C-alpha cells in the first residue's frame, strides 16, 4: 500500500511491535481503529480475526507508539526561529522578542502562518497534542482549527498588572470563548507570570477557570528575579526594566508579597482551582516550596533545552528529580522556537538522557506521553494506546534487535530520537516519510 493521507479513519494498523505505554510491549502487533478511536490492541493474528471487515495497513521496521504530548509551547512564536541568539538574558530577550513583533496590519498573517508552521513542525516530530500558550489566541485558534489536524489545548494568555487591570474582564471574556472549541481544540486560561499578573487578577482568572471548568497554565518560578519583583517591584523585571518604564504599568495599588512566587500563587488561589494546573519551568524552588507543590496537585512542564538557552543550568540543576521524588508530576515540554532549536519532545528526552544516562528511559518516555496528557486533563483520551483512546499513533523506526522488552525499546528511542515514519491523529494519517508496506 502506498502512503497517503486518507479520510478513512477505520482500519487495522499492524507492525513488528507495539509500545502501548512505557511498560507494555506487544510483538507482531496490531491496532483496530474505528472512527478514529482505538477498539483493541493485541497481536496481529487476534486483531485480524476479531475485525475481519477492516482494511489492514502494515508498517515494516517500526514500532507503533502513542503520539507525543507537549504540555507547554508557544506556536505563534515560531516565526522567531533562530532570530534571537542564545545564551539569552531574559529581560533583554523579551525586548528583542517585542521588537521583532509584526505591525498591527501584518499581525494576522504573520501569527497565523507562524502557528501553522509550529504545528506542522510538531507533527513532523511526532507531537500529536499540544498545550499551546497564545497571546494572539483569536488569530491562532482560528488558523489552527481551519488548517491543522493537531490536537490542541489553547491557553489564552492573560496579563493584568497595575494600570492594565481594567482590561482584564474583556480579555477574560474573549479568552473563554467556548465557540472556538471542538473535538480537536479545547480552551484553557494562562495567567502569564507573577511580573505581569497581580495577585487579585490571578484570583479572578482562577475563579473564571473554576466556573467554566477550564485548565490553567502559568509561568511560575521561572526566574530568580520574580521574588524581588513581588517583594518591592525591584530587580531586572521591576521599576528599572525598560519595558516597565515604557508601558508605565506600575502603580500604588499592586499588592506586594515577600514570600516568593510559589507561596504567592498559593495565597491567590492557583492551587485551589479545582481544574488541571500546569506550571511552566519552575526553575527556582526550595524545599519548603517543593512541599507546597507536592500538596498542590499541579503539574510542572520542564523545558530542558530552553532552560539551557537562558543559562539557568549554570546556576543550578533543575530540581525535576526532587519533584518526582515528592510525587509532583513533571512533563517534558519544548517552550517555543524563540528559545529552542526545534519542537521535538523526543529530543528533549534525549538531551536529558545524554546528560545522565543513568536516568531510566521509561521515565522519560512517560514524561512525553502519559504524564503530559494527564496534566492537560486528557489522560483518559490520549497518551497511551488502549481501547477507547484516540488513535494518535506514531510509527517510529526501530531495529529488530532491540525488540526484547519495553525497556530496550524505550532505551533505543530516547537514545536515538528517530523521526517518525508516519503519524496518525484521530485515526487520520497526517504525515508519512516513507511508503507503507
Backbone angles phi, psi at 336, to 5 degrees: -120, 175
Give the mean pLDDT of 386-407.
95
- When pLDDT is cut at 50, 70 and 90, the band that residue 246 belongs to is very high
pLDDT given at position 400: 83
Instruction: Name the CATH architecture for the domain at 68-375.
Output: Alpha-Beta Barrel (3.20)
Q: pLDDT tens-digit profile of 13-67?
A: 999 999 999 999 999 999 999 999 999 999 999 999 999 999 999 999 999 999 9
Nearest to 364 by CA among 68, 122, 75: 68
Distance CA 287, CA 265 (A): 16
Give the mean pLDDT of 160-165.
97
Q: pLDDT tens-digit profile of 96-107?
A: 999 999 999 999
> Mean pLDDT score of the chain, rounded to an integer?
95
pLDDT given at position 433: 64
pLDDT given at position 290: 98
Contacts by 226-235 with C-beta closer than 8 Å and gap 24+? 226/193, 226/194, 226/195, 226/260, 226/261, 226/284, 227/260, 227/261, 229/194, 229/195, 230/194, 230/195, 230/256, 230/257, 230/258, 230/260, 230/261, 230/264, 231/256, 231/257, 231/258, 232/256
**By percentage, how much of the chain surpasses pLDDT 70?**
96
What's the CATH code, domain 11-67+383-432?
A: 2.30.40.10
pLDDT given at position 181: 67
| Residue ranges in 213-344 assigned as alpha helix (H) | 225-232, 242-247, 260-267, 287-296, 304-309, 320-325
- When pLDDT is cut at 50, 70 and 90, the band that residue 432 belongs to is confident
C-alpha cell recorded at residue 435: 511508503
- Tell whether the model's pLDDT for residue 88 goes beyond 90: no
Q: pLDDT tens-digit profile of 361-371?
A: 999 999 999 99
Give the mean pLDDT of 372-401.
96
Q: Where are the beta strands (DSSP E) in 60-150?
A: 62-66, 68-73, 127-134
pLDDT given at position 3: 34
Q: Which residues, including other chains, have CB under 8 Å from residue 20's CB and lie 6 or more apart?
A: 26, 41, 66, 384, 385, 386
| Burial (Cβ within 10 Å: 0-12, 13-18, ≥19) of residue 342 | middle
- Tell whether the model's pLDDT for residue 1 goes beyond 60: no
C-alpha cell recorded at residue 30: 496490531
31 touches 18 (CB < 8 A): yes
Within 13 Å, how many C-alpha atoms sit on residue 191's CB side?
Answer: 32
Distance CA 228, CA 98 (A): 23
Going from N- to C-terminal start, the domains of the chain cover 11-67+383-432, 68-375
Distance CA 192, CA 189 (A): 9
Three-state SS at 163 = helix
pLDDT given at position 19: 98
C-alpha cell recorded at residue 421: 515514519
Give the mean pLDDT of 314-319.
94
| Residue ranges in 125-188 assigned as alpha helix (H) | 137-147, 168-176
Look at the block and give the residue holding cell 499578573: 197
Look at the block and give the residue holding cell 515560531: 78
Distance CA 225, CA 212 (A): 33
- Tell whether the model's pLDDT for residue 399 goes beyond 90: no
Distance from CA of residue 251 to its chain's centroid?
34
The larger pLDDT score, comparing residue 87 to residue 393, is at 393
Distance CA 298, CA 157 (A): 18
Distance CA 172, CA 345 (A): 30
Backbone angles phi, psi at 390, to 5 degrees: -60, 145
Q: pLDDT tens-digit profile of 185-234?
A: 999 999 999 999 999 999 999 999 999 999 999 999 999 999 999 999 99
Angle (CA) 276 337 107, round 5°: 90
DSSP at 339: T
C-alpha cell recorded at residue 350: 534525549
Distance from CA of residue 248 to its chain's centroid?
32
pLDDT given at position 263: 98
Q: pLDDT tens-digit profile of 261-282?
A: 999 999 999 999 999 999 999 9
Strand partners, 41: 31
Look at the block and give the residue holding cell 496579563: 159
Distance CA 348, CA 367 (A): 10
Amino acid at each position: 500500500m502506498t502512503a497517503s493521507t486518507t479520510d478513512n479513519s477505520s482500519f487495522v494498523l499492524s507492525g513488528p511491535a507495539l509500545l502501548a505505554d512505557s511498560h507494555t510491549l506487544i510483538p507482531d502487533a496490531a491496532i483496530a481503529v474505528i472512527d478514529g478511536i482505538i477498539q483493541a490492541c493485541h497481536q496481529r493474528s487476534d486483531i485480524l480475526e476479531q475485525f475481519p471487515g477492516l482494511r489492514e495497513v502494515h508498517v515494516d521496521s517500526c514500532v507503533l507508539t502513542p503520539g507525543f504530548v507537549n504540555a507547554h509551547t508557544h506556536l505563534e512564536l515560531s516565526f522567531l526561529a533562530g532570530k534571537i541568539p542564545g545564551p539569552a538574558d531574559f529581560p533583554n530577550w523579551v525586548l528583542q522578542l517585542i521588537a521583532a513583533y509584526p505591525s498591527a496590519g501584518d499581525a494576522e498573517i504573520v501569527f497565523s502562518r507562524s502557528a501553522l508552521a509550529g504545528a506542522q513542525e510538531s507533527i513532523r516530530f511526532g507531537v500529536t497534542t499540544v498545550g499551546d500558550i497564545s497571546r494572539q489566541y483569536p488569530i491562532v485558534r482560528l488558523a489552527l482549527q481551519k488548517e491543522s489536524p493537531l490536537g490542541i489545548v489553547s491557553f489564552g494568555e492573560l496579563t493584568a498588572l497595575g494600570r492594565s487591570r481594567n482590561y482584564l474582564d474583556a480579555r477574560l471574556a474573549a479568552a473563554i470563548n467556548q465557540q472556538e472549541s471542538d473535538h480537536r481544540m479545547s480552551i484553557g486560561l494562562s495567567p502569564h507570570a507573577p511580573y505581569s499578573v497581580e495577585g487579585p487578577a490571578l484570583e479572578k482568572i482562577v475563579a473564571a477557570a473554576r466556573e467554566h471548568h477550564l485548565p490553567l497554565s502559568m509561568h511560575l518560578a521561572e526566574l530568580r528575579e520574580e521574588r524581588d519583583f513581588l517583594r518591592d517591584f525591584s530587580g531586572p523585571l521591576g521599576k528599572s526594566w525598560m519595558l516597565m518604564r515604557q508601558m508605565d504599568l506600575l502603580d500604588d495599588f499592586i499588592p506586594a508579597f515577600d514570600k516568593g512566587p510559589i507561596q504567592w500563587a498559593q495565597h491567590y488561589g492557583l492551587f485551589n482551582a479545582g481544574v488541571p494546573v500546569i506550571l511552566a519551568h519552575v526553575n527556582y524552588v526550595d524545599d519548603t516550596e517543593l512541599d507546597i507543590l507536592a500538596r498542590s496537585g499541579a503539574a510542572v512542564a520542564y523545558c530542558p533545552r530552553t532552560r539551557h538557552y537562558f543559562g539557568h543550568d549554570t546556576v543550578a540543576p533543575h530540581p525535576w528529580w526532587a519533584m518526582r521524588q515528592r510525587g509532583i508530576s513533571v512533563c517534558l515540554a519544548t517552550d517555543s522556537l524563540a528559545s529552542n532549536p526545534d519542537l521535538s519532545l523526543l529530543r528533549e528526552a534525549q538531551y536529558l538522557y545524554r546528560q545522565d544516562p543513568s536516568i531510566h528511559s521509561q521515565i522519560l518516555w512517560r514524561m512525553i506521553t502519559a504524564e503530559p496528557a494527564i496534566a492537560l486533563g486528557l489522560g483518559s483520551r490520549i497518551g497511551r494506546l488502549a481501547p477507547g483512546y484516540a488513535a494518535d499513533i506514531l510509527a517510529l523506526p526501530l531495529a529488530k534487535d532491540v525488540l526484547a522488552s519495553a525497556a530496550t525499546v524505550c532505551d533505543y528511542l530516547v537514545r536515538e530520537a528517530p523521526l517518525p515514519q508516519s503519524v496518525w491523529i484521530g485515526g487520520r494519517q497526517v504525515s508519512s516519510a516513507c511508503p507503507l508496506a
